[in-house]
Structure 1
Amino acid sequence: MYKRLLLSGLALTTLASYGTESAAPAKDKPNIIMFLVDDMGWQDTSVPFYNNQTSNLNTRFQTPNMERLARMGVKFTEAYACAISSPTRCSLMSGMNASRHRVTNWTLELNQQTDATSDVISLPSWNYNGIQPEGADSISNATPITSLPQVLKDNGYRTIHCGKAHFGARTTPGEDPAQMGFDVNIAGGANGAPGSYLGTRNFGEGSRFAVHGLEKYYGKDIFLTEALTLEAIREMDESVQMKQPFYLYMSHYAVHSPYDDDARFSGKYRGKEDKQLNAPLNESEARYAALVEGMDKSLGDILDYLNSKPEVAQNTIILFMSDNGGQGLNNVRQGVENRDQNYPARAGKGSAFMGGVREPMMVYWPGVTRPGTECAQRVIIEDFYPTILEMAGVKSYKTRQVIDGVSFADALKEHRINPDRTLIWHFPNLWGETQNKEEGYGAYSAILKGDYHLIYTWETRQLRLYNVKEDIGEQNDLAQSMPDKVKELAKELSDYLRARDAQRPTLIQTNSLIPYPDEK
């Protein structure tokens, strides 16, 4: 369903230089900004993404520029990613479902898995070296692809990577965005988090998570989010001067840990009484809220840059997304573990439950999107690949890989949705931070079709079923009362995995592959 939201006169005034419903589509190739946030939960914003009602968590955060973008364009209320960073980023770059590209957990060092160990199951040999550029076929446990930025580059775009990459293992070509189709690489490498957000600490120089490429800011009192934004704006401006359309992949390290103190914003949150917790925010949560606001300021600075050049703004598409659910564990986040952090969704990053995969998403497409609307089209991260190419007007291209993603451009242009879209997740791995199978962590696969979400836990072979329309918190398991629905979804999930030859864990005791969900 496509809904039109009410706008204030002030909101409409701020949109003037960005165009309105009546604006004619630009004739030139549009600039495209893919603004990706790391570890941001769907409620970590003052923009409501559930039933268009402001939640208690929404009142915690101050994200005026996300509100601004929501007024400008379309808010998607059914957006999903993988539950872990690298799989999402590899799907975005390749258009493939994780079950096909097989980079199913986070990557870092060459030839090293990052999974936790188990006495019950052994894990398949997934592609822990990540995605790689075409021609890098000799690298084992990796997937060579025709990347999204490479296709854009081949079609006249200047492609800019800014921030976190995290789609290839260290020392492989895929570690370097410049070898993955980007003309410019700002601070992107194998690391999935910053060693530090602080310029005074040289962004973690000397650690395995050090951020490289920002040496000119070393020793300065500047936050990483700000430094990346300054560099992104400089490169956008360079593209404008070159009169070349640009694709900016603004991929923030924020809001991933460590929760270094962004003193520009943390003071307003420290000790603030919180409605969700019924308690004051602790130091960790205050710093987290500041990270969120710093990310939001980056979005605002980019919008301000575009606003200063109306002819550029009128020809620039902006897509906003997060790479996985917000952290649901109370070792870093305040509150009852797996309940408070992404409420009303259950659990968080790494989990099969909605808290692990549901994301905040917005799109502004001048002359196409209607200001202040929302869209219930179901979207998953691999859909961005064909969508961005369609937005860019790239109609004829060849890829090495099979594309699983489905363009959602028609949902923006024609304001219609496909209510039958089915989504699949495959994580035959063990995330290192928790193995709480009850809360959806551990090795799993899942399917979302219609109102029903089926989760299969590989180790226990348990099938759980939830009606997420009526029970977004996934508290009422319907598997026993709806066996026919379980059977239907288990077969569809299994057929999807079989078609992609998806890898499966093995039971150590019997040394046999664990059966597919429909073989239970």
Structure 2
Amino acid sequence: MKRSINIFYLISCLFFVGCESDEVEELPPNIVVFLVDDMGWQDTSVPFHTEQTTQNKKFHTPYMEKLAAQGMKFTQAYATPVCSPSRVSLMTGMNAARHRVTNWTLRKDSLQPMEKNHDSLQFPEWNVNGLSPVDGNPKSVHAMPLAQALSDIGYYTVHAGKAHLGAIGTPGENPMNLGFQVNIAGHAAGAPESYLGEENFGNGKKGKEVWAVPGLEKYHGKDIFLTEALTQEALSALDTAVTSQQPFFLYMSHYAVHTPIMADKRFFQKYLEKGLDSTEAKYASLVEGMDKSLGDIMQYLEDKKVADNTVVLFMSDNGGLSAHARGGGDPHTHNLPLSSGKGSMREGGIREPMLAKWPDKIEPGTQSGYQVIIEDFYPTILEMAGVDSLNTVQKVDGQSFVPVLKGEKEYDGLRSLHWHYPNEWGPSGPGIGAASTIRKGDWKLIYYHLDQQMELFNLKEDIGETNNLIEKESDKAAELAKDLTEHLKDVDAQMPTYKISGKQVPYPAELFTEVQP
């Protein structure tokens, strides 16, 4: 263990001028990334809008409230519309258009069924096998995973929960191939067959083997919810690092609040009594169970007296589910005032609840409108760990937001954010379907591949994306279409083709004249 501390001291001497042998060694921070699955911007009692909304009042997340009070709340944080692209971006620092894991992964070498059967579009052969730590694996993106980079400099790396980084039978399906020294229940699938210990978390169900949560046999047959079991196992794993005073990286990646929407009975009844229908009451109980996990981790850090040197980053991998399976409202309304939800390029599909705590670095109770995207986590976490530079095999698109956390930088409106989904998710709804998107400042342009239509919104004035300004603000639309096209070409983004003509979907700038007034 002493060797790990010396490694960090050596690194600091290499990167910072003036290291002397009698200087007090500063330990690197522990880092917790708390990632929730399918949690929407409004699925919390913490208001991320300008005021508390009806949706906020539906949920009870006291530990998110506590984390927000202790750190910084980001009101304009983004991921991708679906899960695997976000997770690979987090682990590589690459924009999804560049790493080409643009849809959710599962079966080796295979497009998703809904992509194979699309009426009009032929989808590209995207990287269906996910993330690979070694070169040469077909239909995979080769990259230096975040956990490997941290492990290499002495961090104790723990993965707990949903992985969904690589297809079945590929290196990326197992987090231990990606630099994690401990893997708790992570595998290729992106959802649990069951959240219930009494149902063995889906193990033993014939025909459902791919969805069964692995590695939690000690809880089989017991009255315990998956979220709780994962938390207990994660904290047990951290004891090794805490006891030996080794810096740790915990990737607490919950299966919650993904479907199946099942009741966490610790919290379910209270939501029924509040008047929620049964489905939404179950969903709210999933949310509160997730929040309790956050609280348990924060309490553990306090009890072990490591909270003062631990970074906690809270994020979701895509927008809240709303196209189907939810109760308590019409489809596409569960993230209001944001439009649509998971699978969509509208704000409800990509804007996420994000919180950050870094003692003595972040001023407690602060808020930032800085626009952050999921690939930014990679360089940010490495900078927190003391890595000033890293020779990676991949081009890192993300930008560190450490200066934002320290209050040294505010958003200047010049940076562009990009999304690319040349794929098919399944359901229909606002913003759902194959599309490319850019946000620059307050402006956002969505380009739909199927019908070559565009939408332009000013999010400062119209957060609900109700007023398409594509004709009224044609100059701004042209500017964004040009910028988006340059990005797609720069990263060699894949585009679908039309089945009838065999021609590639054009870049947005190429047919912008068709939407001129």
TM-score calculated relative to the size of structure 2: 0.92
Tell me which moved more, 240-249 or 345-354: 240-249
Residue 338 (structure 1) aligned to one of 332, 337, 361: 332
Q: CA deviation at 1:421?
A: 2.2
Could you tell me whether the CA contact under 8 Å between 1:383 and 1:407 is conserved in 2? yes
Tell me which moved more, 391-400 or 358-367: 391-400
CA–CA separation in structure 2 for the residues paired with 1:173 and 1:127:
13
What secondary structure, in the 3-state scheme, does the structure 2 residue paired with 1:351 have?
coil
Could you tell me whether the CA contact under 8 Å between 1:105 and 1:115 is conserved in 2? no
Tell me which moved more, 392-401 or 153-162: 392-401
Could you tell me whether the CA contact under 8 Å between 1:458 and 1:514 is conserved in 2? yes
Superposition pairs of residues 431-510 of structure 1, within 5 angstroms: 431-432=425-426, 434-436=427-429, 439-510=430-501
Q: CA deviation at 1:415?
A: 3.7
What secondary structure, in the 3-state scheme, does the structure 2 residue paired with 1:513 have?
coil
Q: CA deviation at 1:115?
A: 5.1
Amino acid at match of 2:44: T
Q: CA deviation at 1:304?
A: 0.7
Tell me which moved more, 58-67 or 395-404: 395-404
What secondary structure, in the 3-state scheme, does the structure 2 residue paired with 1:314 have?
helix
What secondary structure, in the 3-state scheme, does the structure 2 residue paired with 1:305 have?
helix
Tell me which moved more, 326-335 or 420-429: 326-335
Amino acid at match of 1:308: D
CA–CA separation in structure 2 for the residues paired with 1:364 and 1:182:
23
- Residue 11 of structure 2 corresponds to none
- Residue 41 of structure 2 corresponds to 42
Q: Structure 2 vs 1, CA of residues 115 and 81 (structure 1 numbering), >3 Å: closer, same or farther?
A: farther
Q: CA deviation at 1:284?
A: 0.8
Are residue 308 (structure 1) and residue 297 (structure 2) matched?
no
What secondary structure, in the 3-state scheme, does the structure 2 residue paired with 1:36 have?
strand
Q: CA deviation at 1:398?
A: 1.1
Superposition pairs of residues 77-116 of structure 1, within 5 angstroms: 77-114=75-112, 116=114
CA deviation string 1:314-338 (max 9, x = no partner):
1100000000000112433431211
What secondary structure, in the 3-state scheme, does the structure 1 residue paired with 2:34 have?
strand
- Residue 321 of structure 1 corresponds to 315
Amino acid at match of 2:330: V
CA–CA separation in structure 2 for the residues paired with 1:115 and 1:326:
23
Residue 421 (structure 2) aligned to one of 427, 432, 437: 427
- Residue 282 of structure 2 corresponds to 287
CA–CA separation in structure 2 for the residues paired with 1:331 and 1:313:
38
Q: CA deviation at 1:257?
A: 0.7
- Residue 126 of structure 2 corresponds to 126
- Residue 211 of structure 2 corresponds to 209
Q: CA deviation at 1:460?
A: 0.4
What secondary structure, in the 3-state scheme, does the structure 1 residue paired with 2:249 have?
strand
Q: CA deviation at 1:204?
A: 0.7
Are residue 223 (structure 1) and residue 217 (structure 2) matched?
no
- Residue 5 of structure 1 corresponds to none
CA–CA separation in structure 1 for the residues paired with 2:389 and 2:453:
44
CA–CA separation in structure 1 for the residues paired with 2:253 and 2:214:
15
What secondary structure, in the 3-state scheme, does the structure 2 residue paired with 1:29 have?
coil
CA deviation string 1:113-157 (max 9, x = no partner):
12513221110111111111124x1x2211111000100011110
Could you tell me whether the CA contact under 8 Å between 1:115 and 1:430 is conserved in 2? no
CA deviation string 1:500-519 (max 9, x = no partner):
11000001111010100001
Q: CA deviation at 1:492?
A: 0.2
Identical counterparts, % of pairs: 54
CA–CA separation in structure 2 for the residues paired with 1:335 and 1:219:
35
User: RMSD over aligned Cα, in angstroms?
Assistant: 1.2
Residue 402 (structure 1) aligned to one of 376, 395, 410: 395
Amino acid at match of 1:440: G
Tell me which moved more, 187-196 or 126-135: 126-135
| Structure 2 unpaired stretches of 5+ | 1-23, 512-517
CA–CA separation in structure 2 for the residues paired with 1:242 and 1:222:
30
Amino acid at match of 1:321: M
Q: CA deviation at 1:238?
A: 1.4
Residue 357 (structure 2) aligned to one of 360, 364, 369: 364
Superposition pairs of residues 47-196 of structure 1, within 5 angstroms: 47-51=46-50, 53-114=51-112, 116=114, 117-135=117-135, 137=136, 139-196=137-194
Number of positions where the alignment pairs a residue of Structure 1 with one of Structure 2 = 481
- Residue 236 of structure 1 corresponds to 238
CA–CA separation in structure 1 for the residues paired with 2:353 and 2:235:
23
What secondary structure, in the 3-state scheme, does the structure 2 residue paired with 1:464 have?
strand
CA–CA separation in structure 2 for the residues paired with 1:232 and 1:26:
28
Amino acid at match of 2:394: Q
Tell me which moved more, 354-363 or 394-403: 394-403
Q: CA deviation at 1:376?
A: 1.0
What secondary structure, in the 3-state scheme, does the structure 2 residue paired with 1:35 have?
strand
CA deviation string 1:7-46 (max 9, x = no partner):
xxxxxxxxxxxxxxxxxx9920110000000000000000
Could you tell me whether the CA contact under 8 Å between 1:327 and 1:333 is conserved in 2? no
Amino acid at match of 2:93: G
What secondary structure, in the 3-state scheme, does the structure 2 residue paired with 1:161 have?
strand
Q: CA deviation at 1:73?
A: 0.3
Amino acid at match of 2:71: G
Residue 265 (structure 2) aligned to one of 263, 266, 282: 263
Could you tell me whether the CA contact under 8 Å between 2:278 and 2:327 is conserved in 1? no
Could you tell me whether the CA contact under 8 Å between 2:159 and 2:251 is conserved in 1? yes
Q: CA deviation at 1:418?
A: 2.7
TM-score calculated relative to the size of structure 1: 0.91
CA deviation string 1:358-417 (max 9, x = no partner):
000000001100111101111000000000000111123211100000000000123421
